[in-house]
Amino acid sequence: MSFGGVFDLTGLRRRYEELETQMARPDLWDDREKAEAISRDKSALEAELQLYDRLESSIDDAMVLLELANEADDSDTRAEAAGKCNEIREALEEVELRQLLGGPHDNSPVILSINSGAGGTDACDWAEMLFRMYLRWSERHGFSSDVLDIQGAEEAGIRSATLAISGAYAYGYLNMEQGVHRLVRISPFDSQSRRHTAFASVTAVPEIDDDVEVEIDDSDLRIDTYRSSGAGGQHVNKTDSAVRITHMPTGIVVQCQNERSQHKNKATAMKVLRAQLFEKSRQEQAARLREITGEKREIGFGSQIRSYTLHPQQRVKDHRTDMEVGNVAGVLDGDLDGLIRAALLMQSSEGRAEN
């Protein structure tokens, strides 16, 4: 069976063989960052090929089972064939989703930042709940995640956290999570058990390759070191290993404290800064284009994209797509794919309408 068209399996397999050849080079790990990028690309491509192989295998199995069921008039075999058809449907949905992720950086790792907003202690607790939700989403997909920075709050929860998540189309998926997330519940911090509303914001930027040029003047940077506030044992408490970099022209502040080495924390913080400056430049260009074309539509970040209601009813509502989910516990445990898929489909249809 040949899928042809946009799948280009022949091209994908050829590219995979090239990456395998590069991975076999004895000097590959002399340049660690390049080696990690090649390894990432190979893993993503391998997942892509496995998806198409699984789809082809399921189609072949379903056709054989249907033939057997018709010949023997066997209801059990028909039920088995129906199960294979469900597998095909799920795989096709995943293929459809991948086709929506065609942006230049959609297949990049993502740097995800979560910040508590209005709502006091509830907002800090809500930020921590979102932090856990994205970690669980990452685990569900078999992605790797590193906590680059986390700032605890006084009473409960966190004020902010920064995650680096690597996996196939990590940025493409989590870019749909940018914006303000709203929580409505009976506050566990209110002695009178009243209903409270809390807000937290999520931003996502792609981790860019070193060959993407981003100009940073060292004189524009203020670099501060401080003692890490996270876990890490006695070493973290006794050395100023954490690094905070402020880019003074833009006011962008990045922090890293996940490594014991100040040098490594600085290198990671600079990587985050490059990504944020690149994304800022991209958004400014998009804003200028909208101004030229007269487009007044609000962009995602800074606007409320989703509400999570735990009282009086249980539901999650995405305000961009009007999609509602009743299983709030499942969503907060990382089951976000349905919401992300709906947002991607809406974005794609809007793009086609504009063209």
Task: Select from 80, 100, 120 the last residue of a domain.
Answer: 100
Same domain flag for 76 and 204: no
Asked whether residue 128 is assigned to any structural domain, the reply reads yes
Burial class (CB in 10 A: 0-12, 13-18, 19+), 112: buried
pTM for this entry: 0.71
> What is the predicted pLDDT for the residue at 327?
94
Asked whether residue 306 is assigned to any structural domain, the reply reads yes
**Tens digits of per-residue pLDDT, 60-98?**
888 888 888 888 888 888 888 888 888 888 778 777 777
Same domain flag for 128 and 80: no
> What is the predicted pLDDT for the residue at 236?
40
Same domain flag for 138 and 169: yes
**7 pLDDT tier (thresholds 50, 70, 90):** low
Asked whether residue 187 is assigned to any structural domain, the reply reads yes
Domain extent, residue 165, equals: 110-212+297-354
Neighbours of 226 (CB within 10 A): 12
Same domain flag for 87 and 18: yes
Same domain flag for 121 and 195: yes
- Average pLDDT of the chain, as a whole number: 83
**Tens digits of per-residue pLDDT, 209-260?**
666 678 888 889 999 988 776 543 333 444 578 899 999 999 999 989 887 7
Task: Select from 100, 130, 151 the last residue of a domain.
Answer: 100
Question: Whole-angstrom Cα distance, residue 112 to residue 22?
Answer: 30
Domain CATH number, residue 331: 3.30.70.1660
**Tens digits of per-residue pLDDT, 131-181?**
999 999 999 998 999 998 898 888 899 999 999 999 888 999 999 999 999
Question: Whole-angstrom Cα distance, residue 205 to residue 304?
Answer: 18
Domain count, the chain: 2
Asked whether residue 257 is assigned to any structural domain, the reply reads no
Residues 6+ apart with CB under 8 A from 320: 300, 305, 343, 346
**Tens digits of per-residue pLDDT, 186-199?**
999 888 888 899 99
Residues 6+ apart with CB under 8 A from 280: 250, 252
